[in-house]
């Protein structure tokens, strides 16, 4: 990430200057493919946002300002269908449903995973933050999802719904991520843990989905 432009971005964020922040972000993302933008710019920036918030140098208002800007920018980057889907519209590709359970309101990293999967040709169904587990089960069935990916910072977001999640895992490959996906919790709900690093998680999912579908 360009150091000078990064400094311009943070100066704009601290001043709540939306126009300057978006201009700096546009410079960082200029002529960069979606996967490169996510892995090289958005994810490192999100990590720094989290680090600054934990250190007390970034307010909740600043965090909300940044997240809103990034969400709009990512929506712009992903507004067109990926070339792989355009070229192989009739070819089978896996349906992947992604969500954060109820009470989990930070879904930006999961959105990045969803966009990288979409770029690779997966048919993504993104439900986002604060989604009740029963609603995830209903949506997975209605969408005929090949896989479901859930992310949470608390293990109780999963273990409070063990029975429902085990039922979900019987019909759809279930993957979990985040600090809440500890080894004991993963075993209890019958899921598979994803690598912590989002790009590695996408690579893992692509391999797993290829095996599941047998044709992707």
User: Per residue of the chain (216 residues), what is the pLDDT tens digit?
Assistant: 667 888 999 999 999 999 999 999 988 888 788 888 888 888 899 889 989 988 999 999 999 999 999 888 887 766 655 555 555 555 578 999 999 999 999 899 999 999 999 988 899 999 999 999 999 999 999 999 999 999 999 999 999 999 999 999 999 999 999 999 999 999 999 999 999 999 999 999 999 999 988 766
How far is CA 87 from its chain centroid? Answer: 25
Burial of 1 (0-12, 13-18, 19+ CB in 10 A): exposed
How far is CA 168 from its chain centroid? Answer: 20
For Cα atoms 60, 71, 156, give the angle at the middle one, nearest 5 degrees: 60
Residue 29 has what pLDDT? 84
Structure tokens at 124: 């993504």
How far is CA 83 from its chain centroid? Answer: 20
List, in order of start, the domains of the chain with CATH numbers: 3-77 (1.10.1240), 90-213 (3.40.50.280)
Neighbours of 57 (CB within 10 A): 10
Which of helix, strand or coil describes residue 95?
A: strand
């Amino acid at each position: 990430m360009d150091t000078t432009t990064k400094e311009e971005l943070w100066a704009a964020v601290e001043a709540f200057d939306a126009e300057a922040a978006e201009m700096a972000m546009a410079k960082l993302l200029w002529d960069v493919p979606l996967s490169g933008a996510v892995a090289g710019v958005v994810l490192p920036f999100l990590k720094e946002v989290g680090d600054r918030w934990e250190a007390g140098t970034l307010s909740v208002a600043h965090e909300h300002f940044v997240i809103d800007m990034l969400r709009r920018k990512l929506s712009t980057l992903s507004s067109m269908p990926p070339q792989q889907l355009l070229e192989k519209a009739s070819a089978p590709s896996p349906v992947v449903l992604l969500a954060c359970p109820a009470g989990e309101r930070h879904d930006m990293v999961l959105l990045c995973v969803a966009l990288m999967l979409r770029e690779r040709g997966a048919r993504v169904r993104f439900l986002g933050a604060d989604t009740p587990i029963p609603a995830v089960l209903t949506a997975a069935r209605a969408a005929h999802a090949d896989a479901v990916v859930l992310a949470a910072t608390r293990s109780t977001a999963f273990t409070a719904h063990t029975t429902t999640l085990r039922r979900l895992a019987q019909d759809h490959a279930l993957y979990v991520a985040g600090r809440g996906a500890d080894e004991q919790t993963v075993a209890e709900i019958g899921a598979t843990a994803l690598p912590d690093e989002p790009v590695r998680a996408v690579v893992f999912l692509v391999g797993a989905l290829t095996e599941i579908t047998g044709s992707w």
